[in-house]
Structure 1
Amino acid sequence: MNAVPEEITSLVGREVYSNNGVFVGEIEDVRLDLDAQAVTGLALAELNHELFAGRVDRNTGVIVPYRWVRAVGDVVLINDVIERLDTGTDEPEAEAEAEV
């Protein structure tokens, strides 16, 4: 059976949780690669301030790489961002990008 494609804008407003059930934030916008016709990131606002304390200002959002997304439904599940943020590594996918 083929799934009916959804509008990209239907992602806006959905809550994002880690695969361990921790609230991360709410999708405010999406980052697109127009040449590849693909979503490359999710811009999150209304962040879990405990999760991002000391990393992101309260009025700032983050962009989570779309490759972290594990499932999209009523909510969006991503790989466990807490483990990625707490590793302190310099790997490109180890930290969410600050949104300008």
Structure 2
Amino acid sequence: MDGTPEEITTLVGREVYSNSGMFVGEVEDVRLDLDHESVTGMALTELNQELFRGQIEPGKGVLIPYRWVRAVGDVILINDVIERLKTPDEDEESLAV
């Protein structure tokens, strides 16, 4: 990257993977903090059904905190914490949308 800021809209449509290479979902929308002019979360759809089976109803999405993002490129890499998702209350910010 050349240091030029990217448009937030370029995140929409990108595939999201965990650091270990597991497909998580696709970015449908972003959550913004307008006061701080920053992205605080990403709404994912087209979820990996194996990963979210029993947690999220098919056709629904999840909102993940942007602090989980490790890298943004052709795809978005997030912390492996998503793979340890076992119970809905494990991380209150990981809610069905």
**Both structures adopt the same fold (TM-score exceeding 0.5):** yes
3-state SS of the aligned residue for 1:25? strand
What's the TM-score once normalised by structure 1's chain length? Answer: 0.87
Matching residue within 80, 94, 97 for 1:96: 94
3-state SS of the aligned residue for 2:83? helix
Q: Which runs of 5+ in 2 are unaligned?
A: none
Q: 1:62 to 1:89 in 2, by over 3 A?
A: closer
3-state SS of the aligned residue for 1:30? strand
Deviation of 1:92 after TM superposition, in Å, equals: 3.7
Moved beyond 3 Å, runs of 4+: 88-93
Q: Deviations over 1:68-96 (max 9, x none)?
A: 0000000000001112x13x495546x62
What percent of counterpart residues are identical?
66
Task: Count matched residues.
Answer: 96
What's the TM-score once normalised by structure 2's chain length? Answer: 0.90
Contact 2:88 2:95 in 1 (8 A): no
Q: How does 1:38-53 map to 2 (within 5 A)?
A: 38-53=38-53
